[in-house]
Amino acid sequence: MSEIYNARKRLIYLEEKVGIEKLNNAVKQTYAFIDDASTTRAEMLRHPYFMDMSLSTIKRAVTELLELELIKVVRMGSDGRKKYLVTT
């Protein structure tokens, strides 16, 4: 088996385990990014990971993940205005 095939099989398994297998790729990519480290929307927009994704696509992906309760918004640190996205 090739390494790419094995990696793809592993990815499918992990997506099913988390429950995101039926979501579109933009939502999956957004979830993966947030799952790696809590982040703000502003940080996401500046990160090279999202350079091929439009602002509206990122916003829709975040909204969908919030509605599905796969992520949530939390306030961290001394600045209560700064809201982080974290996986649930």
Q: Which amino acid is at 3?
A: E
Q: Residue 57 maps to which CATH number?
A: 1.10.10.10
pLDDT of residue 78: 77
Number of domains in the chain: 1
- In sequence order, the 6+-apart residues with CB closer than 8 A to the CB of 66 are 72, 73
- The token pair at 19 is 């429950």
Three-point CA angle 63, 81, 72, nearest 5°: 30
Segments forming the whole domain that contains residue 29: 3-87
pLDDT at residue number 31: 96
Per-10-residue mean pLDDT of the chain, 88 residues long, equals 91 92 95 94 93 94 96 85 90
